[in-house]
Amino acid sequence: MADRALFNNRLFELLNNYDYVLFNYDVNDFCKVRGELTFEFLLRRDDVSGLLIGLKQVESIRNIKVSSNFRFSQVLVMFNDNTSLRMVFLHKFMNKTLTYMDEEAVLERRVLAESGYYLPCIEHQFENVVLHDYLNNGGLKEKYYNYFKEFHVMVQDDLLEFFNKKYGTDFKTLYSLTDFRESERAQIEKHLKALPLNRFVKKVNIRWHNFIGSMRQARMI
**pLDDT per residue over 100-152, tens digit each?**
999 999 999 999 988 889 999 999 999 999 999 999 999 999 999 999 999 99
User: What's residue 8's pLDDT?
Assistant: 87
User: What's residue 215's pLDDT?
Assistant: 46
Top pLDDT among 1 and 210 is at: 1
For residue 3, count CB atoms less than 10 angstroms from its CB and return exposed for 0-12, middle for 13-18, buried for 19 or more.
Answer: middle
Q: What is the mean pLDDT of residues 73-86?
A: 92
Instruction: State how beta strands 38-43 and 84-90 pair.
Output: parallel
Residues paired with residue 88 on neighbouring β-strands, in sequence order: 40, 74
pTM for this structure? 0.84
For residue 159, count CB atoms less than 10 angstroms from its CB and return exposed for 0-12, middle for 13-18, buried for 19 or more.
Answer: buried
Longest dimension (CA), the chain: 68
Q: Which amino acid is at 220?
A: M
Cβ-based neighbour number of residue 67 at 10 Å = 9
Distance CA 36, CA 94 (A): 26
With a pLDDT cut of 70, the percent of the chain lying above it is 83
Cβ-based neighbour number of residue 216 at 10 Å = 9
User: What's residue 116's pLDDT?
Assistant: 87
Distance CA 83, CA 62 (A): 10
What are residue 112's phi and psi, to 5 degrees? Answer: -90, 115
What does each C-alpha distance from 112 to 20, 115, 120, 122, 173 come to in angstroms?
A: 11, 8, 9, 11, 28
Q: Are 127 and 133 in contact (CB under 8 A)?
A: no
3 has a pLDDT exceeding 50: yes
Mind giving me the DSSP string for 72-86?
A: EEEEEEEETTS-EEE
Cβ-based neighbour number of residue 6 at 10 Å = 13
User: What's residue 207's pLDDT?
Assistant: 45
